[in-house]
């Protein structure tokens, strides 16, 4: 009887955990789509509202960036970009034992950018490990670690990771 009860409790815990994962994944799928749409429409301040005040981007070999620096960089990039597409897909998601949700995300950024008198096709394929935390207004992005990035301009690799 005790074994059956323990098995039933374990099965219920697995079922509830799966439900939480599905609901959190659905929320994050929506958040990533909203984030991308905001960038594509040059509504960068909307992206800022999705970040915690202490948001940080970590990219090995590059200086860490805080929320203000990221927003400024996004505004600069968006100002010189047209026909932006930035689809992203959650590859893996898991709850962290001390709170929050860790999402591994693959993204592919494509835009026509103006540099000087010319226009060029910029592409960035990246993978990030994103930490989302629960707040009173829903999940917010606290930390994004760039785990890989390949960039090209007009089909030619650029940058140190290109």
Model confidence over 99-109: pLDDT tens digits?
899 999 999 99
| Mean of per-residue pLDDT scores for the chain | 87
Each residue of 108-128: pLDDT tens digit?
999 999 888 889 999 999 999
What is the per-residue pLDDT for 11? Answer: 38
Per-residue pLDDT of 17-32, as tens digits, reads: 444 578 889 999 999 9
Q: Residue 55's closest CA among 139, 126, 135, 144?
A: 144
Topology classification of domain 2-158: Nuclear Transport Factor 2; Chain: A, (3.10.450)
pLDDT of residue 54: 98
Q: How far is CA 152 from CA 110, 116, 118, in A?
A: 10, 18, 16
Report pTM: 0.82
CA 136 to chain centre: 20
User: Sorting pLDDT into bands at 50, 70 and 90, what band is 161?
Assistant: low
Q: What is the pLDDT of residues 37-75, one digit of tens each?
A: 999 999 999 999 999 999 999 999 999 999 999 999 999
Q: What pLDDT score does 22 carry?
A: 84
Q: What is the percent of the chain with per-residue pLDDT over 70, rounded to a whole number?
A: 86
Contact 133, 117 (CB under 8 A): no
CA distance 132 to 28: 9
% of the chain surpassing 90 pLDDT: 73
Domain boundaries, the chain: 2-158
Nearest in space to 161 (alpha carbons), one of 152, 122, 153, 116 = 152
């Amino acid at each position: 009887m005790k074994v059956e009860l323990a098995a039933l409790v374990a099965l219920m815990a697995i079922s509830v955990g799966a439900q939480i994962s599905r609901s959190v994944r659905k929320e994050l799928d929506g958040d990533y789509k909203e984030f991308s749409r905001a960038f594509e429409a040059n509504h960068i301040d909307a992206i800022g509202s999705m970040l915690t005040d202490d948001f940080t981007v970590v990219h090995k070999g590059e200086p860490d960036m805080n929320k203000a620096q990221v927003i400024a960089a996004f505004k600069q990039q968006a100002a010189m970009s047209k026909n932006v597409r930035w689809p992203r897909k959650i590859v893996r998601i898991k709850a962290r034992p001390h709170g929050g949700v860790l999402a591994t995300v693959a993204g592919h950024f494509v835009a026509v950018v103006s540099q000087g008198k010319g226009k060029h096709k910029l592409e960035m394929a990246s993978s990030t490990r994103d930490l989302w935390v629960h707040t009173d207004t829903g999940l917010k992005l606290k930390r994004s670690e760039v785990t890989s990035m390949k960039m090209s301009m007009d089909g030619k690799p650029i940058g140190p990771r290109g």
